[in-house]
Structures are given as structure tokens and as C-alpha cells.
């Protein structure tokens, strides 16, 4: 039975009409101007403003894995999961100042193109195939699954497969118009996302206030949460001792305290924001000033994201702790933390529920559209154009791009239909971070050395890809059994399933370290300066006063947050 009232449906339909209508208007205006080449379709070259770039970065980044997965982690662990958002703000500063100038100066449009320009075609082709598999089998599929699961829970639990198809078709409509349509519709999407997300957080805090006897007061609800669940407002989790409970150990396996800030947290963020077609694509068609401002604008918005994606999860924990949400938080008779966000949404009044569902849909659709466009861009420009049809004209490339978008969406529907990848069992946010982490160390190593060390060779890059993956498999799956549970490099903890695990963020850091060492050793066998190394000019990295001001404001706000919640 549906839990939505007529006004909820009306608000959702209005949202759909506005987004689809605006997207169609952007598409028609582009078509009337005769703009239809591949660079415009894939990159919206030169047409995205700084605010459109920033909004598109956030809309593409904040999706079901944040609303559902991070809220779920907020329920289990608390504010510590906000590290993914807050460290991202620093990562975006690094990308804006040091990464983007290199991309723009060398006219890089895709990440495989970067690898071919800096290394060779072999590295480029291997990574293009890697990225296609990752984007389809991990990212696109998990976004669709988690989004459909959340909306289905709110709709009454009977429409999962219909919702999968509806979300895919909605994203398809936007994606087929190209990156310009995606970029400008993302401005609407992120506006709806923020307004609807704040409404949900307000209601969540109010529910806590009422449950604990403080009346209808959101601020009182927040203060009550601080007192009732202080352990959920600590950014740094303590390392479990020998007598720690499995619950404490599981939290540490997800977010290993201060250690993660010296390991995987940076690799996750810098790889995601700086070496990822899905993200960098928004800025690669702009000039340096516009790109930098848009990226830093996104960084400022990232600081506020935990308010709408983590706090509802903590609120759900407090409510559950005091006897509320018992039915809403269970699936198949078991507590499911990924139900936290939809459990809170269920208590929204008519109208606000429609707005919040629109916000959740906006986040899902924007991410699906951006991811599908990146899949299309990599396949069309880095595989189809180079290896299948080298003489393809602009119209053929755009046509192939649209075909690949359709194929990617169809594959994601098939994989999601019966959760063939087991996303529901892992926990949404953890599933994405963990499995992306198997290749992130190798990718980030070949990018960072490719940027800034002229001696790095193509042979080292190929070795790095292989080493990064093998090291990730070793540390995630076999190291505790081979080397023991306690070494000078890591501590493995019982995982409650009869085995021992190293926290996956620590695994990423160790994999990255050994990959860098291997790449440096291999590169020493080559020339002192690789002929394909980039020529770096220190002037590229200078920032104007306005950009510097944005950076300082971001760092001051971030410092204040960590001082408050350390």
C-alpha cells in the first residue's frame, strides 16, 4: 500500500516536469545553434559556468550511496563517516590548485587520454577497460539498487522493479542530451537535493526532540542527540582493545580512527575527485579560473553535506535506541542500518515527503546520468574512436555515445533486478568504497607519479596497475592468515565471521605504499627524464586572490568542525 498522499505525487510530478522540461529546453537551444559535435556532447566544452560545475559535481557525487549508505553508517558509527565529506573538501582544493592546471594545459578530455599522453596506449587501454567495468558493475548498479530500495521502502515495499525501470529511464532522458544538459539540470537537482535533504534533517531532529520529551524543537533534538549518543559525535574512533565487543570492532573496521587519515582516506578522495572521469569531466571543458572556482564551490558545499546525509542516520539511531523505528529499521526480521534514511522519511508530513522523495530522486538520477555519460565518453573516445572505427565522424561518435548510454543502463537494470552483486548484504556505502578500493591505490599511484615525477615510465605504470590490484587482494583477503594478526604494518581484527580483517582503508594505504615503491624501482631502470613527461610551469599553480580567499574560508571552517567534534 502506498504511503504517499496526492500532494506528494503532485510535488514529485512538478519536480519531474521542471527537470525534464529545462533539460529539453537546453537541448533544443543547443541544437538550434547547430552545436552537435562530440566534445560538446561529452564535455559541454566552454558552456558550463562555475556555479553549474560546482552544482554538477555535488549532484553527481551525492547519490543513493550517501543518502542511504552514509545515513546507514551514521546509524552504526556516527559522525566519523563525515570524514569522507570533509576530507573531500581538502582533496578538492588540491585538485583545483595542482591537478586541473595539468589537465587543461595538456588538453586532456578523458582519463585514458591522460594515460596515453603521459605513458602509452597499453596503459590507456587497460585502464579504460578497468574503468568501464568499475563504473558499470560497482557504481552505476549500486546507485540504482540503493535508490530503488529506499524509494520502494517508502512507497510500501511493492514496487522495487518498477522503480528501477523508472529511475533508469529518467536518467536516460537527461543523459541523452549530453553533458551540457546534465550540467545545467544538475543545478536544479542540487537545489532540490539540498532543500529536501534539509527538510528531512529538520523533521528527524524534531522527532528526536519529541521522543525525548523536549517538544517540537529541532535544535533541542540536536542537543539531546549530543548528550544521548556522545559516541556518535566523535570523528576519531579509538582502536579496539583485547576485550572490545564485536560491535566496537566492526565500527573500527569501517573507520579506523586516526590511522585512516594517514592511509586510505586520502587515496579515496584524491583518486575520486582528481583521477576520475565521472568527476573531472565537469571541469575539463572550462577555462582554468572557471574550473577552479567551480571545484572550490563544490568543496564548500561538501562541508555541509553531513547535515543532510549523516545526521538523519544518527537521529534514527537515537530513536531506535529509545524504542522507535523498530519496524522501519528491520528487513527480513533483522536490523538493517541502510533503512535509516527511509525510516525517517516515512514520518514526514504530506508535501514534505514528496519534496524529500524528489530530493532523493534528484540525487540518484543526477549520479546515474553523470556516470552513464562518463561510461559513454570513455568507450566512445578511448576505445571506439581509437580501435574500432578510427574514421568515425562527429555525428557517428555522438550516436555511438547514446547507444552505449542505453546499453550501460540496461546492464545496470539486469544486475540490479535480483541484486546479483550482493550490494544489499555488504551495506551500500561500504560496498562502493571497498570494491573501488581494490584498484584505487594503483590508479592514484600512476596519476600522482605521472603528474609530478618526470622519470616515471610506461613500464612502471603497467607494473603499478598490477601491483596495486595484487596488493589490495593480498591485504584485504590473505595477509592476516599469512603474516599474522599483528605486524608493524597493520593490526587485523576478528570480523565476527570466523576470520580476521585489516580495515579496508588501511589496506588501501598499504597497497598504495608498496605500489609507489615498485613503480619508483622500475622507473629507475629507465631514462632520467621520460620523453613523455609533462612540462610543468610553476605559474600554472598560482592562484588569484579570490581563489585564495575561497581556500582559506574552506580550511578555517574545516578546522572549526574538527576542533568541535574531534
Distance (Å, rounded) from C-alpha 143 to C-alpha 367? 8
Total residue length of the chain: 566
Residue 441 inside a domain? The answer is no
**How many domains, in total, are found in the chain?**
1
Q: Residues 221, 206: contact at Cβ < 8 Å?
A: yes
Residue 528 inside a domain? The answer is no
Distance (Å, rounded) from C-alpha 309 to C-alpha 82? 9
Q: What is the pLDDT of residue 20?
A: 79
User: Minimal CA–CA distance to 370: which of 1, 83, 122, 43?
Assistant: 43
- List CB contacts of 297: < 8 A, sequence separation 6 or more: 50, 51, 53, 54, 550
Using the structure block, give the residue that is written with the C-alpha cell 593490526.
491
Mean pLDDT by 10 residues, the chain (566 residues): 75 83 76 59 66 82 76 89 92 93 86 91 90 86 82 74 86 76 75 83 90 88 91 91 87 89 89 82 80 93 91 91 78 75 80 79 81 88 89 86 90 84 61 74 93 93 94 93 92 88 92 96 91 85 91 96 91
Residue 69 inside a domain? The answer is yes
Q: Residues 263, 88: contact at Cβ < 8 Å?
A: no
3-state secondary structure of 439: coil
Element (H, E) at 472: helix 458-473
Distance (Å, rounded) from C-alpha 153 to C-alpha 214? 29
- List CB contacts of 323: < 8 A, sequence separation 6 or more: none
Distance (Å, rounded) from C-alpha 164 to C-alpha 141? 10
Distance (Å, rounded) from C-alpha 521 to C-alpha 512? 14
Residue 497 inside a domain? The answer is no
Residue 447 inside a domain? The answer is no
Tell me how far apart the 2 most distant CA atoms of the chain are, in Å. 71
Positive or negative, the CA dihedral 381, 115, 54, 72 is positive
Residue 525 inside a domain? The answer is no
3-state secondary structure of 498: coil
* Bridge partners (DSSP) listed for residue 242: none
Element (H, E) at 357: helix 352-379
Q: Residues 269, 88: contact at Cβ < 8 Å?
A: yes
Grid cell in block for residue 18 = 521542471
Q: What is the pLDDT of residue 47?
A: 63
Positive or negative, the CA dihedral 466, 468, 474, 477 is negative
What's the Cα-to-Cα distance from 91 to each of 72, 171, 444, 497, rounded to whole Å? 24, 28, 13, 35
Within 234-320, strands assigned E span none
Q: What is the pLDDT of residue 163?
A: 86
Residue 392 inside a domain? The answer is yes
The CATH number that applies at residue 307 is: 1.20.1730.10
Distance (Å, rounded) from C-alpha 205 to C-alpha 216? 9
Q: What is the pLDDT of residue 1?
A: 40
Distance (Å, rounded) from C-alpha 220 to C-alpha 207? 10
Distance (Å, rounded) from C-alpha 11 to C-alpha 562? 38
Can you give the residue range of the structural domain that contains 13?
A: 6-110+123-424
Q: Residues 102, 534: contact at Cβ < 8 Å?
A: yes
- For the CA atoms of the chain, what is the radius of gyration? 23
Q: Residues 342, 330: contact at Cβ < 8 Å?
A: no
Give one DSSP letter per residue of 194-234, joined into a string: HHHHHHHHHHHHHHHHHHTTS-S-HHHHHHHHHHH-GGGG-
> What are the residue ranges of helices labelled H in 524-544?
none
Distance (Å, rounded) from C-alpha 535 to C-alpha 527? 16
Q: Residues 28, 178: contact at Cβ < 8 Å?
A: no
First and final CA of the chain: distance in angstroms? Answer: 44
Residue 253 inside a domain? The answer is yes
Amino acid at each position: 500500500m502506498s504511503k504517499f498522499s496526492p500532494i506528494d505525487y503532485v510535488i514529485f510530478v512538478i519536480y519531474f516536469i521542471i527537470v525534464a522540461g529545462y533539460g529539453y529546453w537546453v537541448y533544443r537551444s543547443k541544437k538550434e545553434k547547430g552545436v552537435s559535435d562530440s566534445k560538446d556532447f561529452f564535455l559541454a566544452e566552454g558552456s558550463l559556468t562555475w556555479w553549474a560545475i560546482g552544482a554538477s559535481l555535488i549532484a553527481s557525487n551525492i547519490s543513493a550511496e550517501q543518502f542511504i549508505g552514509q545515513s546507514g553508517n551514521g546509524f552504526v558509527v556516527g559522525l566519523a563517516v563525515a570524514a569522507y565529506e570533509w576530507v573531500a573538501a581538502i582533496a578538492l582544493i588540491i585538485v583545483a590548485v595542482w591537478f586541473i592546471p595539468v589537465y587543461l594545459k595538456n588538453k586532456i578530455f578523458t582519463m585514458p587520454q591522460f594515460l596515453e599522453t603521459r605513458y602509452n596506449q597499453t596503459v590507456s587501454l587497460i585502464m579504460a577497460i578497468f574503468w568501464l567495468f568499475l563504473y558499470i558493475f560497482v557504481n552505476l548498479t549500486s546507485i540504482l539498487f540503493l535508490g530503488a530500495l529506499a524509494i520502494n521502502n517508502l512507497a510500501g515495499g511493492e514496487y522495487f522493479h518498477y522503480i528501477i525501470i523508472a529511475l533508469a529511464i529518467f536518467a536516460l532522458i537527461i543523459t541523452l542530451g549530453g553533458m551540457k544538459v546534465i550540467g545545467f539540470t544538475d543545478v536544479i537537482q542540487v537545489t532540490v537535493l539540498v532543500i529536501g535533504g534539509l527538510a528531512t534533517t529538520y523533521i528527524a531532529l524534531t522527532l528526536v526532540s519529541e521522543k525525548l520529551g523536549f517538544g517540537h524543537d529541532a535544535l533541542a533534538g540536536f542537543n539531546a542527540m549530543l548528550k544521548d549518543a556522545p559516541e556518535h559525535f566523535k570523528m576519531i574512533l579509538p582502536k579496539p582493545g583485547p576485550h572490545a565487543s564485536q560491535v566496537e570492532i566492526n565500527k573500527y573496521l569501517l573507520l579506523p580512527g586516526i590511522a585512516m587519515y594517514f592511509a586510505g582516506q586520502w587515496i579515496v578522495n584524491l583518486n575520486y575527485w582528481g583521477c576520475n572521469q565521472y568527476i573531472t569531466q565537469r571541469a575539463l571543458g572550462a577555462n582554468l579560473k572557471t574550473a577552479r572556482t567551480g571545484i572550490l564551490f563544490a568543496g564548500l558545499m561538501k562541508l555541509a553535506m553531513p547535515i543532510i546525509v549523516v545526521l538523519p542516520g544518527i537521529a534514527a539511531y537515537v530513536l531506535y535506541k529509545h524504542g522507535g523505528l523498530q519496524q522501519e529499521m528491520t528487513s527480513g526480521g533483522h536490523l538493517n542500518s541502510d533503512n535509516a534514511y527511509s525510516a525517517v522519511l516515512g514520518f514526514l508530513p504530506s508535501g514534505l515527503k514528496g519534496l524529500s522523495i524528489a530530493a532523493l530522486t534528484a540525487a540518484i538520477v543526477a549520479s546515474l546520468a553523470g556516470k552513464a555519460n562518463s561510461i559513454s565518453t570513455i568507450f566512445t573516445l578511448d576505445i571506439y574512436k581509437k580501435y574500432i572505427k578510427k574514421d568515425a565522424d562527429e555525428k557517428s561518435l555522438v550516436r555511438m555515445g547514446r547507444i552505449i548510454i542505453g546499453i550501460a543502463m540496461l546492464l545496470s537494470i539486469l544486475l540490479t533486478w535480483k541484486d546479483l552483486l550482493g550490494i544489499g548484504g555488504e551495506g551500500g556505502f561500504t560496498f562502493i568504497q571497498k570494491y573501488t578500493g581494490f584498484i584505487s591505490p594503483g590508479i592514484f599511484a600512476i596519476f600522482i607519479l605521472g603528474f609530478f615525477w618526470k622519470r616515471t615510465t610506461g613500464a612502471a605504470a603497467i607494473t603499478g596497475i598490477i601491483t596495486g590490484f595484487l596488493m589490495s587482494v593480498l591485504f584485504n583477503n590473505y595477509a592476516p592468515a599469512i603474516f599474522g594478526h599483528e605486524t608493524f604494518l597493520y593490526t587485523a581484527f576478528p570480523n565476527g565471521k570466523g576470520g580476521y580483517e585489516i580495515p579496508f582503508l588501511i589496506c588501501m594505504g598499504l597497497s598504495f605504499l608498496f605500489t609507489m615503491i615498485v613503480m619508483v624501482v622500475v622507473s629507475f631502470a629507465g631514462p632520467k627524464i621520460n620523453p613523455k613527461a609533462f612540462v610543468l610551469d610553476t605559474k600554472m599553480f598560482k592562484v588569484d586572490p579570490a581563489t585564495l580567499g575561497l581556500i582559506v574560508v574552506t580550511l578555517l571552517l574545516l578546522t572549526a568542525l574538527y576542533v568541535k567534534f574531534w
